[in-house]
Amino acid sequence: MTITDHEFVDLPTPTGPMRTHVFRPAAPGKYPGILLFSEIFQVTGPIRRTAALLAGNGFVVAVPEIYHEYEPAGTALAYDTAGADRGNELKTTKPIEAYDADARAVLEYLASHPASTGKLGVVGICIGGHLAFRAAMNPGVLATTCFYATDIHKRSLGAGMNDNSLDRIPEIQGELLMIWGRQDPHVPLEGRVKIHAALEAAGTFFQWHEFNAAHAFLRDEGPRYNPVLAQQCYGVAIEMFKRRLGEGDLFAAQAGGNAQTKH
């Protein structure tokens, strides 16, 4: 499916305008919306390619810059020590309430987007996995994918490093897909067990997948990238999103039309 991948909007939030990148099918019609939360490095090449992959499968994808209060619009941190240090510093500088307000702003934008059906999902990677986990607590979010979500088990997201994500699990009403690397030092076995137990105790409707992989195995840059597992994980996520959110206008509606005009 041909996509549009150069659009952005500066969404108003309580802490200032938030640059949000939009990827969507180029063909006219309406498609389900997906909020994509990035790693600590913001909207890098790998994140843009993930957004493009989702858009090419028939979704309107909005990718906010999670540190918009602290970095100029359009900033993508480098995948190096300086970039990681800056991203980790901001992770615990920004208040948890600001992260939550950002999620609401993007979900409201997607719900009213002229190319959106109003059916909403969320996906996130690393810190974005934790942000997606919290975004899933919003009414109307039907499906959420969290790739190796960091800091849930430690309750350490945001200023003060004392988040309440585990306590708020009962607020998650949609389907949840949790994906982990067993060799990920950021979420060790005891952390995964703690999160799994909390989901079970809350009666959450969720899938749980663990792979023999390192942290950041989804990122298609660097030595930890595992393309075979990435393909499998994207497949599971897209299946859930299409099942829960619908297909959108993938085919021509007019009688006698070319059934592939949307591709």
**Distance between CA 62 and CA 74 in Å, rounded?**
14
Give me 206's structure tokens.
């969720």
Give me 138's structure tokens.
């919003």
Spatial neighbors of 128 by CB under 8 A, at least 6 apart, are 36, 37, 38, 39, 66, 147
Instruction: Give catalytic residue positions.
Output: 126, 184, 215
What does the DSSP assignment read for 148-217?
S--STTTT--TTTT---TTTTGGG--SEEEEEEETT-TTS-HHHHHHHHHHHHHHT--EEEEEES--TTT
What is the torsional sign of CA 66, 196, 143, 181?
positive
Please compute Rg for the chain using Cα positions: 18
**Distance between CA 6 and CA 52 in Å, rounded?**
10
Give me 36's structure tokens.
């994509």
N-terminal to C-terminal alpha carbon distance within the chain: 4
- Give the helix, strand, coil percentages of the chain, each rounded to 5: 30, 20, 45
**Distance between CA 220 and CA 46 in Å, rounded?**
6
